[in-house]
Structure 1
Amino acid sequence: MTSDNQAVNKRKKNNPLIEIVFNIIIPSVILMKFSGPEYLGSVAGLIVALIFPISYGIYDFIKAGSLNFISLLGFLSTLLTGGIALFELNVEWLAIKEAAIPAIIGFTVLMSGFFGKPLLAKLLLNSLLFKLDTIYDALDARGNTQNFKQKITNANYLLALTFVFSSTMNYILAKWIVTSPAGSVEFNEQLGEMTLLSYPVIAIPSMLMLIGIFVYVIKVLTKLTDMKFEDMVNAE
Structure 2
Amino acid sequence: MSSENNQASVPAKNNTFLELIFNIIVPSLILMKLSDDAYLGTVNALIIALAFPIGYGIYDFATQRTFNFISLLGFLSTLLTGVIGLFELDANWLAIKEAAIPAVIGLVVLASGFMNKPLLAKLMLNPALFNLNLIYDTLATHGNTDLFRRKINRANHLLASTFVFSSAANYILAKMIVTSQAGTVEFNEQLGEMTLLSYPVIAIPSLIMLIAIMVYVVKTITQLTGLNFEQVLNQE
2:6 aligned with 1:7: no
Q: CA deviation at 1:65?
A: 1.7
Q: Could you tell me how far 1:68 is from its partner in structure 2?
A: 1.0
Gaps of 5+ in 2: none
CA distance in 2, matches of 1:144, 1:67: 34
Secondary structure of the structure 2 residue equivalent to 1:191: helix
Offset of 1:83 from its aligned partner?
A: 0.4
Whole-Å separation in 1 of the counterparts to 2:7 and 2:38: 52
1:31-73 Cα shifts (integer Å, max 9, x gaps): 0001111100000000110111011000001011232111111
Q: Which consecutive aligned stretches of 4+ in structure 1 deviate over 3 angstroms post-superposition?
A: 1-7
- Secondary structure at the aligned position of 1:179 is classed as coil
Q: Is 1:77 matched with 2:77?
A: yes
Q: How many angstroms does 1:22 deviate by?
A: 0.4
Q: In structure 1, how many angstroms separate the alpha carbons of the residues matched to 2:66 and 2:125?
A: 21
Q: 1:7: Cα distance to partner?
A: 3.2
- Describe the superposition over 1:94-119 as per-residue Cα deviations: whole angstroms up to 9, x where unpaired: 00000000000000000000111110
Partners of 2:161 and 2:133 in 1: CA distance:
30
In 1, Cα distance between equivalents of 2:141 and 2:6:
27
Rounded Cα–Cα distance in structure 2 between residues aligned with 1:97 and 1:4: 41
Q: What percent identity do the matched residue pairs reach?
A: 65
> Which moved further from structure 2: 81-90 or 64-73?
64-73
The 5 Å alignment of 1:86-235 reads 86-235=86-235
State the TM-score, normalized to the length of structure 2: 0.97
C-alpha RMSD of matched pairs (Å)? 1.2
Partners of 2:102 and 2:115 in 1: CA distance = 20
Partner-residue secondary structure (3-state), 1:234: coil
Local SS of the residue matching 2:179: coil
1:198 maps to a residue whose letter is: S
Q: Give the CA deviation at 1:126.
A: 2.0
Give TM-score scaled by structure 1 length.
Answer: 0.97
